[in-house]
């Protein structure tokens, strides 16, 4: 009887998730939803940003009417930042979050995290990166010690596995089979 094993997965895409100050008390609930949605939490950190750090983090929003309120809100208390990984992490996280306006999310995406945890247009409960490049930038901002090397995908990933990983595994497994320990247990 053959046992079907799932294909091994290499999670090549990461995104930043932030639980905002007014929702930090629901951290465990939100983490459960994240894990049940197929994400892996690679790094997690609880911190409080200063207004200056918030201004730097949201620099692309500078000059917009809501910018002062956004920086005041994000620096009003501790946040929980997480690096999430899975295939298509950025798009799946955005889909799970729903629209940035919580009021609109309740109408158009009633099962989204922002519909459930957000309170209005500004206090939407959670942050998500808009693209892979913004995710890398934001992860470096919150987790400066994180190593974010370009991870090969597609044919480049298969070539890497065939050239480096498979020969090493084959050599190691062959040596293990030849060792024949007297008492394997």
- Cα–Cα distance for residue pair 100/29, rounded to 1 Å: 20
Which entry of 40, 109, 111, 127 is annotated as an active-site residue? Answer: 127
Q: What is the 3-state secondary structure (H, E, C) of 9-62?
A: CCCCCEEEEEECHHHHHHHHHHHHHHHHCCCEEEEEEEECCCHHHHHHHCHHHC
Rg (CA), the chain: 21
111 is known as an active-site residue: no
Pick the closest to residue 51 from 71, 78, 65 (CA basis): 71
**Strand-by-strand arrangement of the 14-19 sheet:** 40-47, 79-85, 14-19, 126-128
Give the number of other Cβ atoms within 10 Å of residue 157's Cβ.
13
Catalytic sites, residue numbers: 127
């Amino acid at each position: 009887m053959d046992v079907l094993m799932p294909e091994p997965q290499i999670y090549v895409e990461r995104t930043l998730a932030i639980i905002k100050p007014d929702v930090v008390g629901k951290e465990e609930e939100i983490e459960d939803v994240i894990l049940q949605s197929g994400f892996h939490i690679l790094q997690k950190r609880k911190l409080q940003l200063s207004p200056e750090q918030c201004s730097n983090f949201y620099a692309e929003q500078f000059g917009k009417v809501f910018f002062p309120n956004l920086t005041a809100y994000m620096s009003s208390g501790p946040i929980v930042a997480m690096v999430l990984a899975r295939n298509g992490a950025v798009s799946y996280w955005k889909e799970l979050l729903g629209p940035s306006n919580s009021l609109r999310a309740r109408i158009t995406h009633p099962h989204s995290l922002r519909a459930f945890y957000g309170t209005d247009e500004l206090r939407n409960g959670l942050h998500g990166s808009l693209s892979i490049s913004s995710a890398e930038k934001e992860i470096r901002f919150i987790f400066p010690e994180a190593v974010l090397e370009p991870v090969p995908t597609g044919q480049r990933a298969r070539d890497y596995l065939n050239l480096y990983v498979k020969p090493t595994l084959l050599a190691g497994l062959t040596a293990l089979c030849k060792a024949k320990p007297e008492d394997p247990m």
